């Protein structure tokens, strides 16, 4: 589907076909953060209908979904038998249909996997990505009155049954108020034609990284939820069994995740931003990989990376891109000793670092 915002002045298409920006990524970022703009997220949409939908989804994913109230929002993961992340979905139920919002390229694989797991249960799975538009906004922005459904991101606090690894008194997610409205194309077109300010994905991605908010785009073939602090919002630690649950419990209760997420403060002196997938090095030895990067309007160039658990949190790292060596300082998200038995002192939140 072509985004209705393509007619906006300055529109530059991104990877999902929606706007990367409209000519001023930092200005759009400020407007979006202050609740004065909307962003077309271009997400995939999978719906599940039928009387068994919630109990069925509860039995095969990481979150407690049985009894989910109409309008309530949560998040869940599909794990493999070894506890590695395969799919991630933002979940909201309207009383008749469960809506699963995922990344655009994961909608068809997620729908296919769910369909393969139906067996004799009374559920129907449909990929509705082509039928709707997903518009994101933050507190202060007025949402569409005729949204089909709206998802409120639970990332701002540790969900019931979850666990937060980040050792901070004030988590940067405390200011994260993302809402995603699922709207008909006509509604999206009317908003695009109005005077409502629009932001691109570059603006949204910078805010997501600054809030340490994990996404399926941060996942590789080895990722378990603990490494991204995803137990915070997408895993219920005391629900019944599901595929991968044994690994989730064992790593959390008896061990430590083998890798850990960090926020990287990147040196922007050469005006080069390393791309996702760039190796993260210590003394020219790879110790991790960059999963996301952006220029934040206050923090400057930043990125999310997953590194070895044993890596010294104080070590200065390097990334090579375009024949330029970019240095990076770590800010710990998941501590090296993360787990239920960890005794990690709570640290104050680091203030924003303004860069000239």
Q: pLDDT digit string (tens) for 231-242?
A: 999 999 999 899
The single residue listed with the structure tokens 């990524």 is 25
Containing domain of residue 123, as a range?
7-255
pLDDT tens per residue across span 138-168:
999 999 999 999 999 999 999 999 999 987 7
The single residue listed with the structure tokens 């999902």 is 16
Report if residue 291 sits inside a domain. no
Contacts of 334 (CB under 8 A, 6+ apart): 165, 166, 226, 227, 228, 229, 257, 260, 261, 262
| Amino acid 119: pLDDT | 86
The residue among 90, 75, 85 whose CA lies nearest residue 220 is 85
Structural domain total, the chain? 1
The residue among 253, 76, 88 whose CA lies nearest residue 66 is 76
State the Cα–Cα distance between residues 297 and 243, nearest whole angstrom.
Answer: 41
157 annotated to a ligand binding site: no
The residue among 206, 182, 312 whose CA lies nearest residue 260 is 312
Report if residue 294 sits inside a domain. no
Element (H, E) at 195: none
- DSSP 3-state of 341: coil
For residues 337-345, average pLDDT: 68
CA–centroid distance for 244 within its chain: 20
281 within 8 A of 318, measured Cβ to Cβ: yes
The residue among 257, 297, 278, 93 whose CA lies nearest residue 163 is 257
DSSP string, 294-314: EEETTTEEEEEEEEETTS-TT
Report if residue 354 sits inside a domain. no
State in Å, rounded, how far the first CA of the chain is from the last one.
Answer: 40
| Amino acid 342: pLDDT | 60
200 within 8 A of 294, measured Cβ to Cβ: no
The residue ranges of DSSP E strands in 146-258, in sequence order, are 149-152, 179-183, 198-199
pLDDT tens per residue across span 119-137:
878 999 999 999 999 999 9
- CATH number for the domain spanning 216: value is 3.30.1360.120
Report if residue 20 sits inside a domain. yes
State the Cα–Cα distance between residues 136 and 45, nearest whole angstrom.
Answer: 14
Question: Residue 37 corresponds to which tokens in the numbers above?
Answer: 């703009």
Report if residue 261 sits inside a domain. no
The residue among 200, 205, 208, 198 whose CA lies nearest residue 177 is 208
Report if residue 239 sits inside a domain. yes
In Å, what is the CA distance from 242 to each residue of 59, 80, 99, 173?
6, 10, 20, 28
pLDDT tens per residue across span 174-232:
999 999 999 999 999 999 999 999 999 999 999 999 999 999 999 999 999 999 999 99
Provide the 8-state DSSP code for 244: T
Q: What's the predicted TM-score (pTM) here?
A: 0.94
State the Cα–Cα distance between residues 292 and 254, nearest whole angstrom.
Answer: 30
258 within 8 A of 345, measured Cβ to Cβ: no
User: What count of other Cβ atoms lies within 10 Å of the Cβ of residue 83?
Assistant: 21
| Amino acid 130: pLDDT | 96
Q: What sign has the CA pseudo-torsion 27, 29, 30, 31? A: positive
Element (H, E) at 89: strand 85-93
Report if residue 223 sits inside a domain. yes
Report if residue 264 sits inside a domain. no
Kindly tell me if the per-residue pLDDT of 322 is higher than 90.
no
């Amino acid at each position: 589907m072509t985004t209705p915002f393509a007619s906006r002045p300055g529109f530059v298409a991104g990877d999902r076909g929606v706007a990367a920006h409209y000519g001023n990524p930092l200005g759009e970022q400020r407007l979006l953060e202050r609740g004065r703009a909307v962003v077309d997220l271009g997400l995939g949409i999978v719906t599940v209908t039928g009387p068994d939908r919630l109990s069925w989804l509860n039995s095969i994913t990481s979150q407690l979904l049985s009894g989910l109230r109409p309008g309530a929002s949560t998040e869940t993961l599909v794990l493999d038998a070894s506890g590695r992340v395969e799919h991630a979905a933002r979940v909201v139920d309207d009383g008749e249909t469960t809506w699963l919002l995922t990344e655009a390229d994961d909608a068809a694989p997620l729908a296919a996997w769910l369909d393969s797991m139906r067996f004799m249960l009374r559920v129907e799975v449909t990929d509705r990505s082509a039928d709707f538009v997903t518009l994101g906004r933050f507190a202060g922005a007025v949402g569409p009155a005729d949204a089909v459904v709206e998802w409120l991101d639970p990332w701002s606090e540790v969900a019931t049954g979850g666990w937060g690894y980040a050792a901070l008194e004030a988590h940067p997610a405390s200011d994260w108020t993302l809402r995603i409205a699922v709207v008909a194309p006509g509604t999206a077109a009317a908003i695009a034609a109005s005077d409502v300010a629009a932001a691109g994905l570059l603006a949204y991605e910078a805010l997501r990284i600054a809030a340490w908010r994990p996404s399926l785009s941060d996942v590789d073939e080895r990722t378990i939820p603990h490494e991204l602090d995803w137990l915070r919002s997408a895993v219920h630690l005391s629900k019944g069994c599901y595929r991968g649950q044994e690994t989730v419990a064992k790593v959390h209760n008896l061990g430590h995740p083998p890798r850990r997420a960090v926020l990287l403060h990147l040196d922007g002196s050469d005006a080069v931003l390393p791309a996702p997938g760039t190796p993260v090095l210590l003394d020219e030895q790879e110790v991790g990989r960059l999963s996301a990067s952006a220029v934040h309007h206050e923090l400057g160039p930043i990125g999310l990376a997953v590194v070895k658990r044993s890596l010294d949190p104080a070590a200065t790292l390097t990334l090579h891109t375009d024949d330029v060596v970019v240095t990076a300082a770590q800010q710990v998200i998941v501590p090296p000793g993360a787990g239920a038995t960890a005794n990690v002192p709570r640290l104050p939140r680091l203030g924003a670092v303004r860069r000239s």
